[in-house]
Amino acid sequence: MAEAIVRTRFAPSPTGIMHIGNLRSALYEYLIARVAGGHFILRIEDTDRERLVEGAVEAIYKTLRTCGIHHDEGPDIGGPSAPYVQSERLPIYRRYANDLVKQGDAYPCFCSIERLASLHEEQSGDDFIGYDRHCREIDPAEAAARIEKGEQYVIRQKMPLLGETSFSDAVYGTITVDNKTLEDQVLIKSDGYPTYNFANVVDDHLMGITHVVRGSEYLSSTPKYNLLYETFGWEIPVYVHLPLIVGEDGRKLSKRHGATSFDELIEAGYLPEAIINMIAFLGWSPGNTTRENFTLEELESAFTISGISKAPAVFSYKKLDWMNEQYIKNMPEDTWIAMVKEKADTLFKDQPYDAAMLARVLKERTTRLSDIPDTIAFMVETPTYARDLFKLKRAKLNAEKAADILAALIPDMEALQSWDEASIHDLLEQTIATQNRKKGEIMGAVRLALSGRTVTPGGAIELAVILGRDVSLSHMKNALDFLNETDVTSE
């Protein structure tokens, strides 16, 4: 028999923002499909009406698009298994639930919320077994009559009372549970909506999903899903459960550790490419290499199910910092300039600046995009000076020398035909020679005059180019005035 075409799905519930764990599921599902030349499907699981969050579906689309995780079928593009939104498939679930009732594998349950609540309280010991199967033995004719009369009910799955259920997971191996521990779970709720547990299985079957990939928090429910497949006589998919994501302290990743959603990571200044690369390694490794930088495109051929580990995956912000730096360093010039401009424009406002030079200076020095405004804030401020600032021991510079240097340099710089890197460089080199100064003195004096700082991103020449002729000369004159005014008193 020919191998079935691999079909995976991302099945988010639109209940809020996209967490790192959700995005990892989406990524792995996408990659498993791509590696095999299969199909990746987006399905919206919106049956829990109380937990729906407005805008959540749009956020899912946006995140997937930003990350380059493109689906082949989904609510927005359709496909052979449409509709792809569960709330539009209610008659389907109803039909399958009724089939189960007819064949004696499910039953209507009329227990009130109050009864279930008191049951829950009574059972709060070690051996909680959930619903006590109170309605399981109601005669089908009686049940039908009660439904006819309009009594509220849910439909529950009949779990086997004896024996064990086993299933095999591609990551966690064979898992066996005692059937006694399985609750007769609700398949259809009293509002007519299916539970996640039921709709998910029905849809995975009807949509031809071959690999069910999701977080390990679903592992304990999988025996119940497996029993549904068996009851219907459907082919069981390959289960791929993904390890827990923890912080560096080994505890489940949470707000306490830092940003935990895609949007928060973007907000914190990380690039989508770096986030995706980082997330790819949350539970997966390529095996034959220690290399950790993989673009999405590279992952699309390198990813393997066998490389997924069940050991908890550690989310390290330090590692993400490092990855982000790598992506910034390797980014095409134009893309980087545009990104820097986006941050810098709001800061520089009407003050002209050289974006290309600023981007060049920041490229090797930026960890997170969100650091940029702070790093460059001084460039839009008028520097303030102190005489002591000009004492650079290593360069043997002091305030008097700095004043001499600036006094000689300002007219020459004013006379420069063109204010560019090469011209400024040549002029400063010339000054070093003609004034018989050390390079450190000249560069130090100019840098201090332009910034009021001894340490800056970029040196004297870069700063002069970034700030442009007018601002640079104005700062240099201010510095000279300051040094002249304070001349006698403090040396």
**Catalytic residue positions, numbered:** 255
Is 203 a binder of ligand GLU (CB under 6 A)? Answer: no
Residues 211-270 that bind ligand GLU (CB under 6 A): 214, 218
Q: For ligand GLU, which is the closer residue by CB, 47 or 231?
A: 47
Neighbouring-strand partners of residue 186: 156
How far is the C-alpha of 391 from the C-alpha of 398, rounded, in Å? 4
Q: Are 165 and 223 in contact (CB under 8 A)?
A: yes
Q: For ligand GLU, which is the closer residue by CB, 134 or 252?
A: 252
Q: Are 225 and 197 in contact (CB under 8 A)?
A: yes
Site string for ligand GLU, 152-191 (x = CB under 6 A): ----------------------------------------
Q: Could you tell me whether strands 313-314 and 245-246 are parallel, antiparallel, or unpaired per DSSP bridges? A: parallel
Cis (ω within 30 of 0) for the bond into 83? yes
The nearest distance, CB 278 to ligand GLU, in angstroms, is 21
Of residues 157, 195, 200, 472, which one binds ligand GLU by CB under 6 A? 200
How far is the C-alpha of 215 from the C-alpha of 313, rounded, in Å? 12
Stretch that binds ligand GLU, among 10-18, 119-127, 334-342, 458-466 (CB under 6 A): 10-18
Is 322 a binder of ligand GLU (CB under 6 A)? Answer: no
How far is the C-alpha of 378 from the C-alpha of 387, rounded, in Å? 19
Please name the residues in contact with 203: beta carbons below 8 A apart, sequence gap of 6 or more.
Answer: 9, 11, 43, 86, 89, 209
Q: What's the one-letter identity of residue 114?
A: E
Is 12 a binder of ligand GLU (CB under 6 A)? Answer: yes
Residues 32-71 that bind ligand GLU (CB under 6 A): 45
The nearest distance, CB 213 to ligand GLU, in angstroms, is 7
How far is the C-alpha of 125 from the C-alpha of 129, rounded, in Å? 10
Handedness of CA 274, 280, 283, 288 (dihedral sign): negative
If you ran DSSP here, which 8-state letter would residue 111 be given?
A: -
Q: How many residues bind ligand GLU (CB under 6 A)?
A: 8
The nearest distance, CB 181 to ligand GLU, in angstroms, is 21
The nearest distance, CB 44 to ligand GLU, in angstroms, is 9
Q: Are 262 and 6 in contact (CB under 8 A)?
A: no
Stretch that binds ligand GLU, among 7-15, 33-41, 68-76, 436-444 (CB under 6 A): 7-15
The nearest distance, CB 447 to ligand GLU, in angstroms, is 54
Site string for ligand GLU, 326-345 (x = CB under 6 A): --------------------
**Alpha-carbon dihedral 224, 229, 233, 235, rounded to 10 degrees:** -140
How far is the C-alpha of 28 from the C-alpha of 279, rounded, in Å? 9
Q: For ligand GLU, which is the closer residue by CB, 11 or 405?
A: 11
Of residues 7, 8, 13, 457, which one binds ligand GLU by CB under 6 A? 13
Q: For ligand GLU, which is the closer residue by CB, 184 or 204?
A: 204
The nearest distance, CB 12 to ligand GLU, in angstroms, is 5
Q: For ligand GLU, which is the closer residue by CB, 76 or 481?
A: 76
Tell me the three state secondary structure of residue 391. coil
Kindly report the number of other CB atoms within 10 A of residue 5's CB atom: 12
Q: For ligand GLU, which is the closer residue by CB, 209 or 450?
A: 209
Is 196 a binder of ligand GLU (CB under 6 A)? Answer: yes
Q: For ligand GLU, which is the closer residue by CB, 61 or 218?
A: 218
Q: For ligand GLU, which is the closer residue by CB, 221 or 285?
A: 221
Is 11 a binder of ligand GLU (CB under 6 A)? Answer: yes
How far is the C-alpha of 238 from the C-alpha of 170, rounded, in Å? 7
Stretch that binds ligand GLU, among 11-19, 235-243, 320-328, 351-359 (CB under 6 A): 11-19
CA-based nearest residue to 476, from 361, 390, 358, 396 = 390
Q: Could you tell me whether strands 154-157 and 164-169 are parallel, antiparallel, or unpaired per DSSP bridges? A: unpaired
Q: Are 236 and 229 in contact (CB under 8 A)?
A: yes
Q: How far apart are the first and last CA of the chain?
A: 92
The nearest distance, CB 218 to ligand GLU, in angstroms, is 6
Tell me the three state secondary structure of residue 72. coil
The nearest distance, CB 211 to ligand GLU, in angstroms, is 11
> Taking CB positions, which residue lies at the least distance from ligand GLU?
214
Contact residues for ligand GLU (CB under 6 A)? 11-13, 45, 196, 200, 214, 218
